[in-house]
Structure 1
């Protein structure tokens, strides 16, 4: 038994409210359960009760056992002096106020709905389950699931907004700089994400802005800051980039002491840091004022056109310096652009809209629903139970569900958990 379940029972009156009595055998009528308190202090504020002939208004405290009152040292805390009712699953001792009067107690174990209690025990006694409700998840209505997933997706965007807000402050409210830092990190994907993020932190965006007219300068800047130009030159283009970087390093007093080294190991060649950095350089070379273009784009097709960018000419026949490969135009793939949209562009558009006071996210929801579902262990896990992920909106929401609810045992705050308990 956990207290969160008892909060749920009390808040939604999942008990036989007729003929309730306290442990002192006084008639109890619940007029108002009060407001759930998410901070320190009694669990519910401003409840209203009738005990016997007396009308009471005050706070309600909830425990699994009455003796938990002393386990939590409430007898030493003045914040609990105005508790009017102690709600417990099992009553094992009387609790007294400072004036030695008994705090009225309601014992729940005999008045909770039996079906609800059975469902609770079945859910929370599950052993070795991927999620607690995996045996019942498929029976929840699609209406409940998809409405909850939409809310979870917005919740995930709101969580990401906090990071963007902090980044905006440290970037002195330069939206272009914020976009650059977010994009650079996500160009590195999972393997080189932190290395690319450290690259973005190592150079002020004003330097990037000043060099946008020259693709060679942008490549030299990015390659040089990541340490990819530190080795002996192997061909003419390599020499050219090294020379350009030395000029930029002296001009802007650059250093890359805190930049994390890039990794090539176990990466497919199209995801090599050399290829991604060249694409990034070409993006900023060909799409100046990129933030304005991102905000203006309104459809998935707009974004595919905006990010229709390849590497510089050298990288059409190379994956690394000095080693020739079969010629191919190395454009950003649709799947890679989708990742940028999911992890960078849409969260930024969402936060920018809210920052401007626009809370209509219909366009964002249309775009995210047009992107195919991601494939990962979490999405696959849910889809094996019930095929629910139809688009990137659902796959992002399922990540939020698993990480913030299932893994933290927050089933009672989950619409799916509530639906199962309500049955």
Structure 2
């Protein structure tokens, strides 16, 4: 059998072993009142266990190893954090552990106490040759309550990890939420392909500069297209020439340095997603909405949030252009609802959560989760594959949780740390 410490952690945590007539390897009786809380950081594997050994009730830590000799291999003898270990739980006792005071560490051997059925289920789950996720043959049978509870937990994990970038940027911006939101919103207007140049653009052109020209759309457009590097060189049409003239003046006034134009990507993109069109849409949003983050904090309704982005009129020039000086077939260039929903998901949800977390305001955390519940699921290959194995979802709340599940649990075969994996193994628990 290929035992791992993770498996033994799981067995000990849920007491999935034969508990009849428990004794240490030296023959002292064992009664387990609490297995302890699993520790995922450095130090003993379980904290604050309560175990009666012989006639003595002990409170302390439990260390788990496959062979007992791993105690020495891992150099626990010289680590003071292991001085409070009260029980050594091992699969095989191959060497006694002697503590610095000369006493033998009480040891529980599980070699003949673990059900082969439980191990076989574990091995089949974690080491199967599945093409998508380890439990793809079973996940569709897991009950809705387990799935929902686990989705909520790992979704919070996902948002907490992503919020660290927000708080880092907030500190760099000296606590200015509006400026930080503006920078992240700009990056998300790039929709992955052009996220980096959009982010660099926003950082090179502070929001307070744009605010000084909020009543002049042409100057807003000149600043954005100019800082993006699209107003360099020879231009022909009246509109870009006007922008170029405005930008040359404003560039000197504010001592601006544009982003390198080669960073923008057009190749293999639909024309509606060209960075020039996204810049035109972003300029229209800046003109329409001042102090956008403050508005978002006040608006609760998803429909009202969408209206902040939908039907924003871009400059008429872009109705029949995708690039400067290159006429095209007339087509509306407003932001579509699917693009708006991506912006709500990647920017608004994240900032509501980060704001609530940073200021310890549960109201905004709850609002971020509620917003996810009211946004449609994402459409991508991972979500499609989950659908194939029986996980049917409708909302972004669920799709975001599935992305976290696949990327940070399934890909690393962390089935024993996953409530879904535990549920699939659950009916083996009744054996003991």
TM-score w.r.t. the length of structure 1 is: 0.94
Aligned to 2:330: 327
Q: Secondary structure at the match of 1:119?
A: helix
User: Alpha-carbon deviation of 1:284?
Assistant: 0.9
Q: 2:385 matched to 1:381?
A: yes
TM-score, normalised via structure 2 length: 0.92
2:423 to 413, 416, 419: 419
Is the Cα–Cα contact under 8 Å of residues 295 and 349 in structure 1 kept in the other structure?
A: yes
Return closer, same or farther for 1:92/1:249 CA change in 2, 3 Å cut-off: same
Whether the 8 Å contact between 1:150 and 1:397 is mirrored in structure 2 is yes
Q: 1:373–1:393: 8 Å Cα contact kept in structure 2?
A: yes
Aligned residue for 2:32? 30
Q: Is the 8 A contact 2:201 2:259 kept in 1?
A: no
Deviations 1:242-269 (A, max 9, x none): 1111111111111136787101001101
Hey, what's the Cα distance between the residues in 1 that align with 2:176 and 2:101? 61
Say if 2:228 and 2:260, in contact at 8 Å, map to a contact too.
no
2:41 to 30, 39, 42: 39
Range with greater deviation from structure 2 (319-328 or 252-261): 252-261
Contact 1:203 1:254 in 2 (8 A): yes
C-alpha spacing 1:86/1:387, structure 2 compared with 1 (3 Å): closer
Q: What are the within-5 Å matches in structure 2 for residues 321-400 of structure 1?
A: 321-360=324-363, 361-400=365-404
Name which of 51, 54, 68 aligns with 1:52.
54
Whether the 8 Å contact between 1:310 and 1:332 is mirrored in structure 2 is: no
Counterpart in the other structure of 2:430: none
Note the C-alpha offset of 1:84: 2.1
Map residues 150-229 of structure 1 onto 2, 5 A cutoff: 150-229=152-231
The number of equivalent residue pairs is: 423
RMSD: 1.9
Aligned residues of 1:202 and 1:259 also touching (Cα < 8 A): no
- Is the Cα–Cα contact under 8 Å of residues 310 and 329 in structure 1 kept in the other structure? no
Q: Are positions 1:410 and 2:422 aligned together?
A: no
Paired position in structure 2 for 1:296: 298
Q: Which residue of 2 aligns with 1:142?
A: 144
Determine helix, strand or coil for the equivalent of 1:173: coil
Compute the displacement of 1:406 (Å): 1.2
Look up the match of 1:7.
9
**Cα contact 2:66–2:90 (8 A) shared by 1:** yes
Q: Any unmatched runs of 5+ in structure 1?
A: none
Deviation of the 1:353 alpha carbon: 3.3
Corresponding residue SS for 2:159: helix
Alignment check: 8 A CA contact 1:123 1:132 kept: yes
SS of structure 1 residue aligned to 2:222? helix
